[in-house]
Each structure stands twice: as structure tokens, then as C-alpha cells.
Amino acid sequence: MIKLIVSDIDGTLVPDGSHKINPEIFDVILKLRAKGIQFAAASGRQWVSIESIFQPVKEKIFYLSDNGAYVGCHGRNLFLNTIERQTVMDMIQEVRRTEGLELMLSGPDVVYVETRDQEILDWLIHGYKFQVQQVDDLTKVDSEFIKVSVYRKSEVEAHTVELRARFADRLKITIAGEMWMDCMKPGINKGQAVKLLQDSLMIKPEETMVFGDQLNDIEMMSQAYYSFAVGNAREEVKNAARFRTDININDGVLKILKLLL
């Protein structure tokens, strides 16, 4: 019997950077919960963004945000994994030396940016629905950090090869789409967050179902027998998953969830 469902958001439930989700999923989540099945949203997004998307059921789901660096539920942070500050400062300096890259630092509740690009700011605030604070100098921000995100308008993977190599032993680094490279504390990923939730709820991998599409979803595929890659997923994710479903814009996840009812 399935007792836990975990789904990525961008590229899996919605197009990257979108905030529009099929509202039918809210009713399905409530019906699944009535059957004793928990739902968790696992994303590189900030928890504020996850809560905004799932507003009608925000008190009924778990948040595995910032690629597992934050595990919580409505109004409550359960587990927080912070990055050593000097590592963050060193990453800021390296990114500043690389043309075409922008940086976003995630605190527990606020994301900090230096960018003056209004298009990026509007996207973060109105697209992702992040809680954003624009600052003059990221190195002066007085906060603990749970994620460092590097943004490029396209092909971020190809343009961060040296950066990933330089910090490979100091950060858990993953590619989250064409535009984002996410960095967390070593050992932190969505799979680790799923395991943490499973252990807390006494749920086994064979009682778990997960959905994803990007490289930052691969670790959680091994935490569930019922691991699904959506049809638009990267090949690496399809190879890691045990099953496949329809593409995100055709509600591939929702189709599988409705079968459980």
C-alpha cells in the first residue's frame, strides 16, 4: 500500500518557473490523505513558493524545499541544513568573476540577490513567488544560508563546469534545469530529505511513490519502489526511475495519482 507520495514541481507538475498548476490536484491530495496517504512537494524552490502553489492544501502537505535543505510543513520548519559561511563567501567571489552568471542565496525564509536585472527580479517575485530581498553586497548579508543558486539564462550546466569542479568537495551541487545550478551542504539532496520524512513517519521505500524530471530528482528515485519519470524528463532521470508517466503539461503526475483513488 502506498503511504507517501513525493513530487517535484518544476518540469514535473508545472513548466519551469510557472505557478499555474491543475487545481484538480488539490482535491486529489485531500482524497489521498483521507485514505492515509501523505503528500510532499520536493523542489529546489523556497518553501514560501511551494506554499503559494499549494495554497488550498498548504496545511495538509509536507515541504521538501531547497532540494532537501529545508524540511517542514505549514508554519513549521522541522529540519534545516545550513552551509558553512566561508564556503558561501568563496562561491560569491567565484561567480562574480564569471560573465553571464547571477547568484541567489537562500536563507531559511528569504532569498537574497544582487542582480539589477528587473526581468529576473520580476520572475523570482511574480513567477516563482519567492520572498526576495535585493541587496547591494551578498557578502554583507547577516543570515545563515541553506542553498546557493547560480543562474544563467540558458545552458547553465555547460557554463559552470569549472565552478562545479572547484567546489565539488565543499558542496552538494546539482543541475536543476537549463537555468539553475543549486548548491547545498554536502550530503543534502531530495533523496536524503525523502528518507528523513520516511523515517519520521515510519514509511518504507516500497510504500513510497516519487515523481521527477531533472538531475536534482535522481537521488529520491532510489528512495521509492514506485519511482516515476515524467515523459519530458532528462534521460538520466528516466534511466534512474522504475516507471514513466505522461509529460508534465499533460498532467502525467495527476493521471497516476487518480489511479490510486
- Map out the domains of the chain as residue ranges: 4-80+188-259, 85-184
pLDDT of the residue at 150: 97
Sign of CA dihedral 200, 205, 206, 209: positive
- Strand, helix or coil at 197? helix
CATH code of the region 85-184: 3.30.1240.10
What lies within 8 Å, CB to CB, of 168 at 6+ separation is: none
Q: Looking at residues 36-58, what average pLDDT do you find? A: 96
How many other C-beta atoms lie within 10 A of the C-beta of residue 182? 25
pLDDT of the residue at 55: 96
pLDDT of the residue at 239: 97
134, 121 Cβ separation under 8 angstroms: yes
Q: Looking at residues 40-45, what average pLDDT do you find? A: 96
pLDDT digits (tens, 9 = 90+) for 156-170: 999 999 999 999 999
pLDDT digits (tens, 9 = 90+) for 108-151: 999 999 999 999 999 999 989 999 999 999 999 999 999 999 99
Which has the closest alpha carbon to 66: 142, 163, 161, 174?
174
pLDDT digits (tens, 9 = 90+) for 94-114: 999 998 999 999 999 999 999
What lies within 8 Å, CB to CB, of 144 at 6+ separation is: 82, 85, 107, 108
Flag whether the pTM goes above 0.85.
yes
What lies within 8 Å, CB to CB, of 60 at 6+ separation is: 29, 30, 33, 39
> In whole angstroms, what is the distance from residue 139 CA to residue 256 CA?
45
pLDDT of the residue at 162: 94
CATH code of the region 4-80+188-259: 3.40.50.1000
